[in-house]
Structure 1
Amino acid sequence: MPRSVDCSASLIGLSASLLLLLAACGSSGTLVGSPGEAEINLDAQATGFYADPNSTPATWVKSHPNDSRTPTIKSKISSQASGRWFGGWSGDITPAVRGFATAAANAGKIPILVAYNIPGRDCGQYSAGGAASDAAYKTWISNFAKAIGSRAAVVVLEPDALSQLKDCLSGTQQTARLNLIRYAVDQFANNAKNTKLYLDAGHNNWVAPAEMASRLKSANIARARGFALNTSNFGTTANNTSYGNNIVKALGSAKRFVIDTSRNGNGWNGQWCNPGGRKLGSVSKVVAGNSGLEMLLRVKTPGESDGNCGVGSGSKAGDFLPQAAYAMAK
């Protein structure tokens, strides 16, 4: 059994030089880690994660101080922690990741990062792109992990990459993708030892639990903390918790999972791209309990467009939509 320590203190004021390592709060309210791991204190009811002052909603808030929507967007979205997504748009990945991780460490907070650069990303749909070659991706993801180094971090690895494995890739391409994800897992395990790495595993309305467990095993989840669900999607926390626990059961190992709650406060209406009528979900936090669920995280930044579709018509992926953000917050 893992050991436990007091979980009542927050991260604020911790020295950036400490080797921080995030772990899950158990039902007793204590912070649980595995033997040999460094541990940090993190109040299970507090937001001990990093709110990026340069996120798209934070930037919008700063440039629109007199807009009637600004107070709501600031309090409900820009001041709350969400993920920073990294891909080809990030430029040189080493300073991009290092700067973000260092800023979070200096604030005594845990950053949430998303690696999103797998070749053939999103089957050529709204978020098409990715590294130009397998070799380029290996260099990119290796530099990503090394840039985090010993700092504490949460990383979600390649949204949709495993869920879409058999949707648009040939058998040879499937093998290549699994090899790349295994390589990425090894890079974080070897070079970012205080990172909690979660392989993206889709959501409860996609791949059957047994099949997803098989893909996760093939992707070497044994060397990762666990898997991530509902990234950028709208499924309820309850439905994804049930799905996640079924994956854990199929894996046959005590892996943990996180759920993206950025836009799931009103569930799914059947539309995946910028649907109207959605609501914010939980703020980013560690959760206590006996299931495999470890954290609720706003992995997607609320209010950012999925692409030229739905309420984001005329936008491109990543654009901030203030009216959509305001509607979700209200």
Structure 2
Amino acid sequence: MAVSALGTGGMLQGTANAAAVACSVDYTTNDWGSGFTANVSISNEGTTALDGWTLTYSYTGNQRLSGSGWNGVWSQSGRNVTVQGNGWNANIPAGRSASTGANFSYSGTNAAPTSFSVNGTVCGDEGGGPGDPGDPPGDRVDNPYVGAGVYVNPDWSAKAAAEPGGSAIADEPTAVWLDSIGAITGGSAGNSTGLADHLDNAVEQANGQPFVFQMVTYNLPGRDCAALASNGQLGPDEIDRYKNEFIDPIADILQEYSAAHPNLRIVNIIEIDSLPNLVTNVSPRETFTPECDEMKANGNYVEGVSYALSQFGAIGTVYNYVDAGHYGWIGWDDNLTASAQLFHQAATTNGASVDDVHGFIVNTANYGPTTEPYYTINDSINGTSVRQSDWVDWNRYVDNQSFALGFRQELISQGFDSGIGMLIDTSRNGWGGPDRPTGPGPQTDVNAYVEGSRLDGRFQAGNWCNQSGAGLGERPTAAPVSGIDAYAWIKPPGESDGASQYIENPEGKGFDRMCDPTYEGNPRNNYNMSGALPNAPLAGHWFSAQFQELLDNAYPPL
């Protein structure tokens, strides 16, 4: 299978800009039933030499790298494969090619990869495709991250750099959170800088080139009805304040910068953990809360999200991504379709349209692994499916990437555009360190197999607050897999999820027992311990001990 590409690529940081890459990738296999040899040829179709190259692609099945490969440095993380040029073939002159290969094992089907990237350039759509150098400035693109730098938030960067070892990641791009009316002009816990000043900084970092500014719009009335730690400033009925004092001023600022700086691509994450609560945490479910029942009855979550989509969707350089929970929340059969239907309702009422939704994001501010490399949902042990294990508990998914791609198809089936892209927040889901498994678990029974295989070190997949043992995940990356627009650090590492004990505050944030390390759980997490770190500050405030743990347990390691 040959795939061609022409464009600029990668997720760049600060003012860095990628050189144009023109390439084609030819992928063939020699398959013997339980394994195969992958032969890959990378052709440089540009006018200048590729001085060093990195090829990335992904499998959809359980293909596993065997050995070290040849004519390149091969590695695999989950389903994601990376090959770097090595020695004599690290430089590919214009018009020439380099070949590399490796052996793999597999069972079941052996579908070929559908997308390749070379130095961050997504292969496909030869010549002038979305995100390519030929795009006129300001034109909407299929994937805003391709061929663009990404904003490094100076507020977060300074805090990270001040930590021991933090300089290793202080130049990574993270999102700006607008979590109160006051945050628009500055002074919120995570960001002392106002939105307009952040955008000025982004324009300066962009230096006239395509550039992504990531922001989170997060201040619904009755915000986060099921988690007290992230409650907000607006009461359940204050929908007019939400529209007039929060959304409208943000939209006015974004419209001004959109008109003046058409190369600025504004990725806007819409209302974390809102709509899924109306599916899973309302009566008659055992996990219901009266606050979520109230928000479902008054309709202000749906109305607020609809209004935000319609206002921001009218701005040409804004790319709206709606929060879609994570596999440990929405992955069950009775949650998946109901959630997609509710998202479609929110995107088609009160003036909103599915055209206002560029995509969805999963795992925002959460800890579920991007991929589980050592077991899949299709595995069985002694005739027992892993779905029957205590950990999986009949879920359809075991990691966020398979969930994101599966949920994407469900969303399309409910009426969203077939071109929607997905984001995965990888800021805290690496689960490295000494406890990380190095291979599949024992096959004595299904529970032993899953427990020994899983990277996820939580007591339960629904645990969400300041999780002990977590580490930084995949670094921000554009288009890592077909259908995934980016791995992104939306939750800035080092910012707390909630206080581990009650702290009086003027921010409207309550005390949630899921942030208490002594808490023994509730029906929502099957009465497991919370797994939270001790001595945590309020949500959004800097938590040095967590930051240090994230550095120590980073995977890939720093």
Settle same-fold status: TM greater than 0.5: yes
**1:256 paired to 2:358:** no
Deviation at 1:39, TM superposition (A): 4.8
Q: Greater Rg, structure 1 or structure 2?
A: 2
Please name the residue that 2:396 is paired with. none
Unaligned runs of 5+ in 1: 15-23, 63-68
Please name the residue that 2:346 is paired with. 219
Counterparts in 2 of 1:100 and 1:314: CA distance versus 1, 3 Å:
same
Deviation at 1:299, TM superposition (A): 0.5
State the identity %.
Answer: 25
Please name the residue that 1:144 is paired with. 250
Note the alpha carbon deviations across 1:101-142, whole angstroms, 9 max, x for none. 221122014221111100111115111114341001112112
**Could you tell me how far apart the structure 1 residues matched to 2:145 and 2:216 are?**
23
**Could you tell me how far apart the structure 2 residues matched to 1:263 and 1:136 are?**
33
Please name the residue that 2:311 is paired with. 187
**1:236 paired to 2:360:** no
Please name the residue that 2:178 is paired with. 86
**Could you tell me how far apart the structure 2 residues matched to 1:173 and 1:121 are?**
14
| Aligned positions, number | 306
The AA in structure 2 aligned to 1:276 is S
Question: 2:196 pairs with 82, 89, 98, which one?
Answer: 98
SS in 1 for 2:304: helix
Deviation at 1:283, TM superposition (A): 1.9
SS in 2 for 1:74: helix
Question: 1:75 pairs with 168, 189, 200, which one?
Answer: 168
**1:319 paired to 2:541:** yes
Which segment drifts farther, 164-173 or 320-329? 164-173
Which segment drifts farther, 111-120 or 307-316? 307-316
Higher strand share: 2
**1:58 paired to 2:158:** yes
SS in 1 for 2:410: helix
**Could you tell me how far apart the structure 2 residues matched to 1:89 and 1:214 are?**
30
Please name the residue that 1:175 is paired with. 299
Counterparts in 2 of 1:303 and 1:89: CA distance versus 1, 3 Å:
farther
Deviation at 1:194, TM superposition (A): 0.6
Counterparts in 2 of 1:105 and 1:39: CA distance versus 1, 3 Å:
farther
Note if contact 2:218-2:271 (Cα within 8 Å) is conserved in structure 1.
yes
Please name the residue that 1:18 is paired with. none
Tell me the TM-score normalized by structure 1: 0.82
Note if contact 1:48-1:285 (Cα within 8 Å) is conserved in structure 2.
no
Counterparts in 2 of 1:25 and 1:246: CA distance versus 1, 3 Å:
farther
Please name the residue that 2:239 is paired with. 134
Which segment drifts farther, 132-141 or 100-109? 100-109
Note if contact 2:221-2:242 (Cα within 8 Å) is conserved in structure 1.
yes
**Could you tell me how far apart the structure 2 residues matched to 1:105 and 1:312 are?**
39
Note if contact 1:155-1:195 (Cα within 8 Å) is conserved in structure 2.
yes
Deviation at 1:171, TM superposition (A): 7.0
Please name the residue that 1:66 is paired with. none
Note if contact 1:7-1:43 (Cα within 8 Å) is conserved in structure 2.
no
Tell me the TM-score normalized by structure 2: 0.50
Please name the residue that 2:324 is paired with. 201
Note the alpha carbon deviations across 1:225-278, whole angstroms, 9 max, x for none. 011110000111131121122222112242211010010101351332111110
**Could you tell me how far apart the structure 1 residues matched to 2:345 and 2:365 are?**
24
Question: 1:37 pairs with 131, 139, 142, which one?
Answer: 139
Superposition pairs for residues 146-165 of structure 1, below 5 Å?
A: 146-149=252-255, 150=258, 151-165=264-278
**1:116 paired to 2:218:** yes
**Could you tell me how far apart the structure 2 residues matched to 1:47 and 1:323 are?**
33
Counterparts in 2 of 1:316 and 1:173: CA distance versus 1, 3 Å:
same
**Could you tell me how far apart the structure 2 residues matched to 1:256 and 1:225 are?**
7
**Could you tell me how far apart the structure 2 residues matched to 1:174 and 1:247 are?**
27
The AA in structure 2 aligned to 1:61 is A
**Could you tell me how far apart the structure 2 residues matched to 1:75 and 1:147 are?**
33
Note if contact 2:295-2:301 (Cα within 8 Å) is conserved in structure 1.
no
Counterparts in 2 of 1:174 and 1:146: CA distance versus 1, 3 Å:
same
Deviation at 1:303, TM superposition (A): 1.2
SS in 2 for 1:110: strand
**Could you tell me how far apart the structure 2 residues matched to 1:25 and 1:178 are?**
37
Higher helix share: 1
Deviation at 1:209, TM superposition (A): 2.3
